Structure 1
Amino acid sequence: MPDMLSEGHLKDIIRLELGTDLYVTPNTWAPSLYHDLVDEAEVQSYLEARGSGYRNGRWIGLAKSPKGRSALYKPILALVNRILVKFGGHEEAGVTRKAFDTRKVRMGNGSHGKALPDISIRATGPSFERPPKLSTAGIGFQDIASGFNVILDKDSDQQLDQVVQFGIYCRQILIQQPNRNFVRFLIITQSGVRLVHYDRSGTYVTPFHNIHEDPVTFIRLILGLSSTNESILGFDTAFEWTIDPESGRKVSGTIATLDEAGGLIRYKLNMDAPPLVRAGIRGRGTTCWTAFHPETGDRVLIKDAWRNESKGSEIEYLKVAKGVEGVVQMISFEDYRAETKNYRPASCDHPGSYNRVKSRVVMEHYGPSIWNFESRIQLIGAIKDAIQAHKKLYNRLVLHRDISMQNFLLGSSVEPGRRGVIIDLDMAVKIDRPASEIPADPRTGTRQYQSFAVLESSTGVQPPPPQDHLDDIESFFYVTCHIVVLFDRPGVPKEDIPKFLTKWGLAKEADAGVWKFLFVNKPLETSLISKYWGKPIVELVQSFKKFIADIHREKDKYSADARTSAKLVKRLKKNLWNKAAEHYAEVDGFFQTCLDALELEEINGPAPETPDSSAPSSPESSPTSPLPECSGLTGGSKRAPSFSEETMDDSDLPRKKRPRKS
């Protein structure tokens, strides 16, 4: 599924996601790669031969001082293809690699005009397929093994810009080739080559290596990034695909994993349902596949995800959730399928490069993402049941901590209790641990839906509040608002996304928190809500928003009065945590009231229209954010001033101040 974001928007996301402190590998690392692909003696023999284009210690086609980048494209493309022809290995049936000049290729099929790299290695073979709508060169992100960008030596210090640009390509490749574990690119100048690597732990780059003085490393890098062995390219080879030779498209596939007894099983992939992909590079990289049991034909959901090695496995929480209606049910689990530490130098000690572990879990099958709701009653019923499922999980002492659009599925039944399902317990935590071990942390969860308290914890608030059930309930509120504000009706999102929704997902933690504070504490702009939703849902949002605003004020009061974490925990436990059942019941009442009204409208027609927001009955606010990428990331006091969604910049954001005690 293509990204629904502009290139500028994507660059902002990638900068935020990957950070600016890039890891540069030791000089010795790139020359250590891909030694098994070609014998050095064979390479030396090639370099001495006439047709290689290498003479007197130089690749003779590359000018020492080219007039511009355009003078380098043709000779580098020819050089790459000569190397592939010589060392690329014997082509198997349906498996090929060839380099193409793709500077001017514009991508169709929803890719919003994003170009391919300067030179793309077009691939055919099991994990590649022809794009459904061919670009002018017949190449797309579905069928490139890697890509090379060409720059001049004088621009080689623009390291971050290069990483961000390749990040756009990488993001698309991970979406279109969802069984990838990592992606690599090359930057080539008239005298040097640099490898740029991306995986779920982030990115790193090698230093530039002189391609004239060390042609062997240059050749190995080209061969490694063009290999006909898909595991070398970074693919998870547990997937096996069948390609239609005429259309070039995948027509069937299987995925191997463990069954309930620990034996190997190959599920048949549902080719009519594309995988659900959490777009992005760094992070969990959650990908969900629908498949069928090879013998019974039962439908299952298979989830691949990458967790931080220091965190517990999702399996312990899935076991606790067994039998909880409205929470995903596990069939089998496979851990340590891959680790990102195996893709980088053993000496890597960069603070941002912590190891991530890939797991695969097989679950019972449910409906599609909540994003695919078909009616108001279906949506509200699904959210209501998911909140009640969250309560049941909480009663078993498990806090989800990542309530988001991506982690909601429509249930497989219209029966109450089964209309909505919570998935993805990667971020879950046991609440019988000491409160000090589960502080609010903006690194936990999805930015778009994080509570104000979680976002505010990034500012160094002391004492930091522990994360609790109310933070997750607040996330349910933002999910509800996101859908109601963004959609004019089922399947039809607004063309102009309200700015605050975008800021919820993309702004830095503190700024995202301020945008949410404004939304919760200023009057709801009902003009942002399509008439399709009607009075019952506007009133649901109003009631839910007032509940969240009241909780903000309560937490703010206890935090301001607490000198120590222990005192804060004692106050929160007495005044909020011991009332969890009341909180869930109150929110459930909002949804039940809404459902009752919607069902009456089904019988009697809609009630008179909601009054407009010029005379609000309670302090409110409004939502806005980017389309989810899987279709595919506050405290209260004074009332916030009105602001314009179109003209307000980050510099205009008011900074909420709260009293601190020393």
Structure 2
Amino acid sequence: MAPRPIRFADWLLDQSGNRGILIDLGVAIDFEEEDSVISDEARTGSRFFQSCEILDYLTDLAEGEDPPPHDYLDDLEAFFNLVSFCFFKYKPDGTDRSQTDKARLIVEGWDSEDPKVALDAKNMLFTPARRYRQKVLQLIGQSWGEACKTLFKEFLEWVWRIQEEKGRLVQEYIDAQEELERMKEQLKARGIEPDPKVFEPAKESIFSPLFNQSDDHYVQVLKIFDKAIDSVVKSTPVPEPTRLINVFGLGASSGKRRRTQSIAPSRNGPPVKVVCISPEAPAS
């Protein structure tokens, strides 16, 4: 099941320890395992969460070109955009960032109706040489903590590697098609009709080398999140142990009402919890 679209309103977060819930599957694609081709999906998600590749093919410069089908890698990039939405529009306590908060500038333009504006805004993060990326990571660390900063950095780098690999495969395909066209023209110039079977377009996706690694891709992304969750859990302060003292020397079975109070720890020991036994009768 490939969900369409992926956006902030389609996710419900449960209590700690439980999985999130994906809703609004009205435009999902349901396909069987043996299906080799998934048809193009016109509704490719809300602008804010669309992948850079989808936006690239929606610009005026790409007008008339056939975009590749929306695939699971676009969905994983949409998850990255969802993480960005949370980090830069909200504080860790769940409240909205103020309209003057600099964090909002990072995702400014991501939801523009003009795909080129949205693409240019998102591409600011995917330029390694720019100081912009370092400022973004610094901001996340200051507001969300080091674990979230590392998560964002690793997820960003993963998405960037996928984008680069897709770009390389697209360029290889374009170069191959141009070479085939030159060969066809050379044959025609010699009075030879090109064999359609030889020059028939390949049926498998140009991204097949990536799709063959789909299981690994999901594992890689999940590991990024598991690592961050583990880091947060380990950094959570553990309550200090306490010592119990019964000041009147009466046992717990005396039937008296008990009152507890913590006092400052001794120099070499844990805090002391004093158990005071009240002379009052036990509550009914």
TM bin (shorter chain): 0.5 to 0.7
Which residue is 2:3 aligned to? 400
Q: Tell me if structure 2 keeps the 8 A contact 1:487–1:494.
A: yes
User: Within the alignment, does 1:506 sit opposite 2:140 as a pair?
Assistant: no
Distance apart, 1:436 and its partner CA: 6.7
Partner Cα separation in structure 1 for residue 223 and residue 211 of structure 2: 19
Partner Cα separation in structure 1 for residue 13 and residue 109 of structure 2: 27
User: Within the alignment, does 1:588 sit opposite 2:199 as a pair?
Assistant: no
- The one of 38, 49, 53 equivalent to 1:453 is 53
Distance apart, 1:456 and its partner CA: 1.3
Which residue is 1:438 aligned to? 40
Which residue is 1:553 aligned to? 164
Partner Cα separation in structure 2 for residue 494 and residue 568 of structure 1: 48
Distance apart, 1:566 and its partner CA: 5.2
Q: Tell me if structure 2 keeps the 8 A contact 1:463–1:568.
A: no
Q: CA 1:422–1:512 in 2, change beyond 3 Å: closer, same or farther? A: same
Partner Cα separation in structure 1 for residue 203 and residue 147 of structure 2: 37
Which residue is 1:487 aligned to? 90
- The one of 13, 21, 32 equivalent to 1:410 is 13
Q: Tell me if structure 2 keeps the 8 A contact 1:401–1:427.
A: yes
Which residue is 1:429 aligned to? 29
Q: What is the TM-score of this pair, normalised by structure 2?
A: 0.64
Q: CA 1:535–1:420 in 2, change beyond 3 Å: closer, same or farther? A: same
Q: Tell me if structure 2 keeps the 8 A contact 1:465–1:569.
A: no
Which residue is 1:647 aligned to? none
Q: Tell me if structure 2 keeps the 8 A contact 1:458–1:509.
A: yes
The structure with the largest helix share of the pair is: 2
User: Within the alignment, does 1:570 sit opposite 2:181 as a pair?
Assistant: no
Structure possessing the higher radius of gyration over alpha carbons: 2
Partner Cα separation in structure 1 for residue 79 and residue 66 of structure 2: 25
Q: CA 1:464–1:421 in 2, change beyond 3 Å: closer, same or farther? A: same
Q: CA 1:566–1:435 in 2, change beyond 3 Å: closer, same or farther? A: farther
Distance apart, 1:504 and its partner CA: 0.4
Distance apart, 1:570 and its partner CA: 3.3
Partner Cα separation in structure 2 for residue 548 and residue 451 of structure 1: 10
Q: For residues 204-219 of structure 1, what are the structure 2 equivalents within 5 Å?
A: none
Q: Tell me if structure 2 keeps the 8 A contact 1:408–1:423.
A: yes
Distance apart, 1:473 and its partner CA: 0.7
Partner Cα separation in structure 1 for residue 92 and residue 216 of structure 2: 33
Q: What is the TM-score of this pair, normalised by structure 1?
A: 0.29
- The alignment partner of 1:576 has SS state of helix
Q: For residues 95-110 of structure 1, what are the structure 2 equivalents within 5 Å?
A: none
Structure 1, residues 315-352: CA drift from partner, whole Å, max 9, x if none? xxxxxxxxxxxxxxxxxxxxxxxxxxxxxxxxxxxxxx
Q: Tell me if structure 2 keeps the 8 A contact 1:408–1:422.
A: yes
- The letter for the 2-side match of 1:485 is F
- The letter for the 2-side match of 1:535 is E
User: Within the alignment, does 1:529 sit opposite 2:150 as a pair?
Assistant: no
Partner Cα separation in structure 1 for residue 37 and residue 78 of structure 2: 20
Q: Tell me if structure 2 keeps the 8 A contact 1:466–1:569.
A: no
Q: Tell me if structure 1 keeps the 8 A contact 2:7–2:46.
A: yes
Distance apart, 1:470 and its partner CA: 0.8
User: Within the alignment, does 1:515 sit opposite 2:121 as a pair?
Assistant: yes
Q: Tell me if structure 2 keeps the 8 A contact 1:489–1:530.
A: no
Partner Cα separation in structure 1 for residue 37 and residue 118 of structure 2: 25
Q: Which runs of 5+ in 1 are unaligned?
A: 1-397, 606-662
Which residue is 1:51 aligned to? none
Q: Tell me if structure 1 keeps the 8 A contact 2:44–2:70.
A: no
Q: CA RMSD in A?
A: 2.6
Q: CA 1:510–1:532 in 2, change beyond 3 Å: closer, same or farther? A: closer
Which residue is 1:213 aligned to? none
Q: CA 1:530–1:589 in 2, change beyond 3 Å: closer, same or farther? A: closer
- The letter for the 1-side match of 2:227 is T
Partner Cα separation in structure 2 for residue 489 and residue 550 of structure 1: 28
Q: CA 1:554–1:566 in 2, change beyond 3 Å: closer, same or farther? A: farther
Partner Cα separation in structure 2 for residue 602 and residue 583 of structure 1: 30
Distance apart, 1:492 and its partner CA: 2.6
- Give % identity: 24
Distance apart, 1:500 and its partner CA: 4.0
- The letter for the 1-side match of 2:69 is P
User: Within the alignment, does 1:465 sit opposite 2:99 as a pair?
Assistant: no
- The letter for the 1-side match of 2:85 is H
Q: Tell me if structure 2 keeps the 8 A contact 1:485–1:528.
A: no
- The letter for the 2-side match of 1:487 is Y
Partner Cα separation in structure 2 for residue 408 and residue 436 of structure 1: 24
Q: For residues 42-441 of structure 1, what are the structure 2 equivalents within 5 Å?
A: 398-411=1-14, 413-415=15-17, 418-431=18-31, 435=37, 437-438=39-40, 441=42
- The letter for the 1-side match of 2:207 is L
Q: CA 1:603–1:476 in 2, change beyond 3 Å: closer, same or farther? A: same
Distance apart, 1:435 and its partner CA: 3.9
Distance apart, 1:438 and its partner CA: 1.7
Q: CA 1:560–1:549 in 2, change beyond 3 Å: closer, same or farther? A: same
Q: Tell me if structure 1 keeps the 8 A contact 2:92–2:143.
A: yes
Partner Cα separation in structure 2 for residue 604 and residue 507 of structure 1: 48
- The alignment partner of 1:438 has SS state of coil
Q: Tell me if structure 1 keeps the 8 A contact 2:107–2:122.
A: no
Which residue is 2:233 aligned to? 599
Q: Tell me if structure 2 keeps the 8 A contact 1:488–1:530.
A: no
Q: CA 1:533–1:435 in 2, change beyond 3 Å: closer, same or farther? A: same
Partner Cα separation in structure 1 for residue 31 and residue 202 of structure 2: 18
